[in-house]
Amino acid sequence: MHDPADDQVRALRTALTRTPRSSSRELARALGVSQATLSRLIRRVSGDVVVIGRGRATRYAWRREIEGVEAIVPVYEMPDAEGRPRHVADLHPAAPDGFVLVSRVPDVPSGWFDDLPWFLQELRPSGWLGRQVPALHADLRLPPHVNDWSSDHVLRFLVERGSDGLGALVVGAKAFRHAVTMAQAPPGAVSASERLALYAARADAAVQQGLVGSSAGGEQPKFLTTRDDGERRVPVLVKFSPAARDPVAMRRRDLLVSEHLALRTLAEHGHPAARSELLVGEARVFLEVERFDRAGPIRRVGQIALAWADAQLVGSSLTSWTESTSALLARGLLSADDHREVRWRQLFGRWIANNDMHLHNLTLRLRGATITGVAPAYDMLPMAYAPQGQGELRAVAFAPQPPGPEDADVAAPALEAAVDFWGRVAADERISAEFRAFANANRDAVVALRAGLIWLPE
């Protein structure tokens, strides 16, 4: 026998699929029923309806299914110090293709998201390492190129294999259980004395497997591991140069050494920077960088690229770090000290010929979904000298521009740090003679800017 209530359920589903986040008044009008009838109908299909908000602000959405993903996906945050993980929110896939996030803690917002929530975007596989993910997890039957992944593809990967992503957040019960297992029994580590041989083998294996190659972004080949210092285990990221001795390979070596020197310069001038160590082998140079999203092999530190935070919280033109952090400061989402640090870092980068300071190369600290500061510097090097396209080396006309009056308070110390950096590059025998000559000339060009500092306002 036909049940008219079934027609109402179908009508409710259609209405919420067409217009998610509808209020009860809007739904009652769309279905042509009273508020009381609508309330009874929603109670009847409560398992299929997601409630957003409370009181007069209450809105509704219809659940949708994603293959391999539970209907309600828990989101956890791993601790960065002594303490226990937090269950910070529940994620509900909702029709037609969005998500409802229901918060369980004050520092994570509830609401509707057209894509995965912005503070989960850092977990999306990307870059050189991310391109390997589809092949390494072929059993998940995801598209072969991560740039083609939809938010549903990303979520399927996270709940199955996302237990060790960037930052502190873990999505899904299965991934969380695996993260806890890893915390209780951390994976093996490479002893400091054996690193060079093992790193060489890892790099050679990557080449043999066809994992090393140019990409649209030209990312540096790398791998992740853990270093055993005897007293502690340190998660690290290891970049490596080509094994060849041609001009392009030598330039890659020069840039890895320069990156190490830039991070050391930053730290010695009192600015937070990722800790790094350079290992020179017979065929390759390895730059080992300690991960700042980890606090030892177990604890984790929340983070998000400035690009993702800007897209959700600011919506700037994405043209510079300082434009974005200035907008965050104006909205009370970032401190004046943090914005000042970014202004200093951007000037330093400009004066060491880093033309790749995009918004994915600056990271913010997170607690839940709340920004707590700026993470240490990384990927800071003279990228203007990086091989282009198919590996061409082009001439670089380095013409450092003087600071503007808006940076009068950070210009002098940033300038001295840049002078120091170029001096270190020019004196380092691990760098080619050609690149040391560039460094000498660039140091002179930066030194020449000192004369103009007297014209900056106090």
Could you check whether the bond before residue 400 is cis, i.e. omega within 30 degrees of 0?
no
Say if domain 190-290 classifies as CATH 2.30.30.
Answer: no
Distance between alpha carbon 361 and the CA centroid of its chain, in Å?
Answer: 8
Type and span of the H or E element at 76: strand 73-77
In angstroms, the CA 405 to CA 413 distance is: 15
Those residues whose C-beta lies under 8 Å from the C-beta of residue 244, and which sit 6 or more positions away, are none
Tell me the HSE value of 42 on the side-chain side, using a 13 A CA sphere.
24
CA-nearest of 130, 96, 129 to 22 is 96
**pLDDT value of position 82:** 81
Q: Give pairs for 393-398: CB < 8 Å, separation 24+.
A: 393/247, 393/248, 393/251, 396/353, 396/438, 398/353, 398/438, 398/441, 398/442, 398/445
Chunk the chain into consecutive blocks of 10 residues (it has 458) and report each block's average pLDDT, rounded to whole numbers. Answer: 71 94 93 92 93 90 94 96 92 96 96 96 88 88 93 96 94 95 83 93 79 44 89 92 93 97 98 97 95 90 96 91 97 98 98 96 97 98 91 91 94 98 98 97 98 92
In angstroms, the CA 23 to CA 15 distance is: 11
The answer to whether 71 touches 63, Cβ cutoff 8 Å, is yes
The answer to whether 421 touches 261, Cβ cutoff 8 Å, is yes
In angstroms, the CA 25 to CA 145 distance is: 44
Residue 352 per-residue DSSP state = T
In angstroms, the CA 262 to CA 351 distance is: 11
Q: What angle do CA 404, 409, 413 make, to 5 degrees?
A: 95
- Does residue 254 carry a catalytic annotation? no
218-256 burial string, b = 16+ CB within 10 Å, else e? ebbbbbebbbbeeeebbbbbbbbbbeeeeeebbbbbbbb
**pLDDT value of position 444:** 98
In angstroms, the CA 285 to CA 5 distance is: 70
In angstroms, the CA 449 to CA 444 distance is: 9
**pLDDT value of position 135:** 87
CA-nearest of 21, 22, 154, 17 to 97 is 17
* Residue that has been written with the tokens 């600056």 in this structure: 362
Question: CA torsion sign, 175 to 177 to 182 to 183?
Answer: positive
**pLDDT value of position 217:** 31
> What's the whole-model pTM score?
0.92
**Burial class for 358, CB neighbours closer than 10 Å (0-12, 13-18, 19+):** middle
The answer to whether 351 touches 414, Cβ cutoff 8 Å, is yes
In angstroms, the CA 398 to CA 254 distance is: 17
Q: What angle do CA 151, 155, 157 make, to 5 degrees?
A: 120
**pLDDT value of position 5:** 66
Task: Report the topology of domain 4-61.
Answer: Arc Repressor Mutant, subunit A (1.10.10)
In angstroms, the CA 274 to CA 264 distance is: 9
The answer to whether 408 touches 235, Cβ cutoff 8 Å, is no
Let me know how long the chain is: 458
In angstroms, the CA 89 to CA 18 distance is: 26
Looking at 80, 204, 356, 428, which residue is catalytic? 356
The answer to whether 237 touches 260, Cβ cutoff 8 Å, is no
**pLDDT value of position 214:** 31
Residue 166 per-residue DSSP state = S
